[in-house]
Amino acid sequence: MFGALISPTDPIAVLSILKSAGISKSLETKIAGESLFNDGVAVVVFITILQLAQPGTEINAGSVLMLFGQEAVGGIVLGIILGFGSYRLIASIDNYQVEVLITLAVVMGGYTLAHFIHVSGPLAMVTAGLITGNQGKKFGMSEITAEYTDKFWELVDEILNATLFVLIGAELLIIKMNSEILFISLIMIFIALLTRYVSLWIPSIAIRQKEIITQKTLGILTWGGLRGGISIALALSIKPEFNRDIWVTITYIIVCFSILVQGMTIGKLTRRLK
């Protein structure tokens, strides 16, 4: 469960650093795309394990596959329906205010619907966003609508991230720290970096026929995989009877290391590897 909650990455801060370091558009796409689907799948895995951990839950291969399939496949199917529905609506209208509100309605209404029918909201929104941002923008939006939509969601993204980190800061007031938890956290930092490298290296072999991913690219993707708000939010959702305070503290330490150490050195690493 901890592996699932610590795996989501936050590319927003690191992308702004890497852009100033002059990374290629291809690497920028890899970082953002990997993060989107990584976050969605990680949340599904976390929710699945958390539900299976409830007292009285029968655990077998069938129940695990059923729960994971319902969350993951159901979320993607819902996202496809919402994405094409919003695309058709946007294509039939030429009014940027209404079209921006349609995208907002898809997110708020679609995520609420996903929660109600017990499928993955993050995966549904990623899928709907890909369809709306590609198919919808290319064939259904005018230039002014596309510009306003991009600016609107960039602003919403910044506001929600700022709000999340204010709440994270408030949670620091109740964290209990001791030397044992600190030592475990340092070990977990190393394990998290190692498993991230392995999880990137394996698929890089699988797609080698189409595109070569070098060791330098893997190094940047590994060190640039900053943990952030999603990991904290998932840790805070753990029930107290599952020793939530310990997991929240370990998660905070890993996130702080990620932001302060990895975030402050990723630019220098990228320039050196270039």
**Residue carrying structure tokens 């209990």:** 176
Domains, the chain, in order of start with CATH, read: 2-273 (1.20.1530.20)
What does the pLDDT look like over 87-134, one tens digit per residue?
889 888 888 899 999 999 999 999 999 989 988 888 888 889 888 888
- Residue 119 per-residue DSSP state: S
Rounded to whole angstroms, the Cα distance separating 230 from 201 reads 23
Q: What proportions of the chain, in percent to the nearest 5, are helix, strand and coil? A: 80, 0, 20
pTM, two decimals, is: 0.75
Chain-centroid distance of CA 55 in Å reads: 29
For residues 67 and 48, the answer to whether their CB atoms sit within 8 Å is yes
Q: Is the dihedral of CA 229, 103, 67, 38 positive or negative?
A: negative
Rounded to whole angstroms, the Cα distance separating 129 from 211 reads 25
For residues 252 and 173, the answer to whether their CB atoms sit within 8 Å is no
Low-confidence ranges of the chain (pLDDT < 50): none
List the one residue out of 12, 139, 117 whose CA is nearest residue 73: 117
Per-residue pLDDT, 210: 64
- The single-letter code of the amino acid at 125 is M
Torsion of CA 128, 153, 97, 123, to 10 degrees: 10
